[in-house]
Amino acid sequence: MADCRARIARAAVTYARRVLQRTIGVGLLGVGWMGSVHSQAYCRVPAHYPDCGARARLVVAADEVDDRAREAVDRLGYARWTTSWRDALEDPQVDAVSICAPNYLHREMALAAAAAGKHAWIEKPVGRFPAETIEIADAAEAAGIVTAVGLNYRNPPAVQYAKQLIDTAALGELSHFRMQFLASYSANPRAALSWRFVRELAGLGILGDLGSHAVDLAQFLLGPIVRVSASSRICIPRRPRPQARAATHFALADTEAELGEVENEDWAAALVEFESGVRGTIELSRVAVGVEARYAFEVSGTEGAVSWDFERLNELEIHGATRTGDRGSTRVLMGPSHPDFARFQPGQGIPMGYDDLKVIEAARFLDSIANGSRCTPGAREIRAAAHVLDAIVRSCESGRWEDVASARTQMPA
């Protein structure tokens, strides 16, 4: 009887929330692959998070390439399209924007969104350089808007479960940390010299692209990083110029194409020291032949260890003592008992995918707008990562250990 009453009460709460749900008008700034991912994530929120406090209405999509902008109406479901992102921001029906444009547009778009009082879900790295990231984060907080940042590698149930094991001291006293964010998307020397390789347009190279993810994930798991010692390198110094206007770094250029200079780093690595005293390593690469998306970490303690790799998204390897006293590793497949998994799949071993991680972000963003609460990760978390990236850049230049500015004050309580 008690269980029945509890189920009825939960159903009543869910029904009430549906009735009271806010509708959030959304504008999309940048209709590329990530813009499509954001748009589909908004539309999937009601199916996976029926208790979310808000639902999205896709109002307007903006992209400087008119074919892409126009396609967003038929393919993604926006009510209208425009080639002017400012036009989208000025639309009174738009309450929030997704900023999915290239890095060189982040600052101008984000500052304009803050000034207009529009909530913003913005993809990393939030600007070209750490200084721009910090400026954007400060402006967003001063404006009082809700911000979400696309740091989606926090979201897999396996990562959330690893965080629980770390926080509850299930691993004992932490002793080692190792992280790799290695990709091969630019390993081919024929990969086109897209905007990602140009400092004025992209800013940092792999440090901004995957490094922002890696640093945020490291601090999410183990807390603030306070000192770093780092090195970086451009491994492929020249690449063929793209023929198409909107070519990406996945595009291969013609062998006869004119070559241009790569202006930002392909590879970087850092020794990092956490506030707790634990030290570890972070290695980043966009030119690692033999891997596709090895975004992985290992955390070791005196009583056990955990390891995770994005290429095996739904698995967590846990190492520890067995009941017989032997030591060994167990591969744990994620299931409904792990955070957020039951929102997407009914049984253990049925895999979640990358796009599901963005649905989690979309739900948190919309719910935070409805509730007037801070969204995590948001401006505060990406600012904390930017301070670490700034120290890494300084260390690459100086060849010395560098302190992370305001390490203790930039992390959330």
Do residues 227 and 329 share a domain?
yes
Q: Which of 152, 173, 198 is the last residue of a domain?
A: 152
For the stretch 63-87, pLDDT in tens is 999 999 999 999 999 999 999 999 9
Helical residues (DSSP H) of 294-345, grouped into ranges: none
Same domain, 190 and 331: yes
Same structural domain, 92 and 114: yes
**Host domain of residue 107:** 2-152
Q: What angle do CA 360, 147, 205 make, to 5 degrees?
A: 85
Does pLDDT of 48 surpass 70?
A: yes
Query: Is the pLDDT at 408 greater than 50, yes or no?
Result: no
What pLDDT score does 254 carry?
A: 72
How many CB atoms within 10 Å of residue 111?
Answer: 17
**Cα–Cα distance measured from residue 121 to residue 101, given in angstroms and rounded to the nearest whole number:** 12
pTM (predicted TM-score)? 0.91
Q: Are 141 and 177 members of one domain? A: no
Mean pLDDT over 111-137 rounds to: 98
Measured from the Cβ of residue 270, the count of other Cβ atoms closer than 10 Å reads 29
Domain of 333, CATH number, reads: 3.30.360.10
Please state the rounded mean pLDDT for residues 111-140: 98
CATH number of the domain where residue 64 is located: 3.40.50.720
Tell whether 36 and 159 lie within a shared domain: no
Kindly indicate the confidence band of residue 137, based on its pLDDT and cuts at 50, 70 and 90. very high
384 vs 321, higher pLDDT: 384
Is 343's pLDDT higher than 80? yes
Count structural domains, the chain.
2
Residue 393 domain-assigned? yes
Q: Are residues 288 and 317 in the same domain?
A: yes
Whether the pLDDT of residue 409 is over 50: the answer is no
Q: What is the pLDDT of residues 149-170, one digit of tens each?
A: 999 999 999 999 999 999 999 9
Q: With b meaning 16 or more CB within 10 Å and e meaning fewer, what string describes 143-172?
A: bebbbbbbbbbbbbbbbbbbbebbeeeebe
Average pLDDT over residues 327-337: 92
Mean pLDDT of 86-107: 98
Strand partners, 182: 285, 294
**Same-domain check for residues 123 and 177:** no
Let me know if residue 67 belongs to a domain: yes
Ranges of H-type helices in 176-258: 199-202, 206-209, 211-222
Mean pLDDT of the residues in the chain: 92
Last residue in a domain, options 111, 131, 152 = 152
Q: How confident is the model at residue 213 (pLDDT cuts 50, 70, 90)?
A: very high
What is residue 330's predicted lDDT score, i.e. its pLDDT?
Answer: 92
- 94 and 212 housed in the same domain: no
Q: Looking at the structure, tell me whether residues 110 and 220 fall in a common domain.
A: no
pLDDT of residue 212: 98
Q: Which residues contact 117 (CB under 8 A, 6 or more apart)?
A: 143, 144, 145
Mean pLDDT score, 116-128 = 98
Instruction: Please indicate, yes or no, whether residues 96 and 121 belong to a single structural domain of this protein.
Output: yes
* Confidence at residue 413, expressed as pLDDT on a 0 to 100 scale: 38
Contact (Cβ atoms closer than 8 angstroms) between residue 62 and residue 28: yes
pLDDT at 411 over 70: no
Instruction: Answer yes or no: is 13 within a domain.
Output: yes
Q: Does the pLDDT of residue 322 top 60, yes or no?
A: no
pLDDT for position 243: 75
> Quick one: average pLDDT of 407-412?
44
pLDDT band at 235 (very low <50, low <70, confident <90, very high): very high
The Cα–Cα gap between 233 and 242 comes to: 23
Q: Which long-range contacts (CB under 8 A, 24 or more apart) does 368-373 make?
A: 368/146, 368/148, 369/22, 369/24, 369/53, 369/54, 369/95, 369/96, 369/119, 369/146, 370/21, 370/22, 370/24, 370/52, 370/53, 370/54, 371/53, 372/146, 373/146
Q: Which residue has the higher pLDDT, 1 or 184?
A: 184
Do 97 and 221 reside in the same domain of the chain?
no
> How many Å apart are CA 357 and CA 154, to the nearest integer?
9
Say yes or no: 205 and 338 in one domain.
yes
Single out the residue of 293, 360, 20 nearest to residue 157, CA to CA: 360
For the chain, the first-to-last Cα distance in angstroms comes to: 41
What's the pLDDT tens digit per position in 32-44?
A: 999 999 999 999 9
Per-residue pLDDT tens digits for 236-293: 999 999 876 555 667 787 777 899 999 999 999 999 999 999 999 999 999 999 999 9
Question: Tokens standing for 9?
Answer: 């009460």
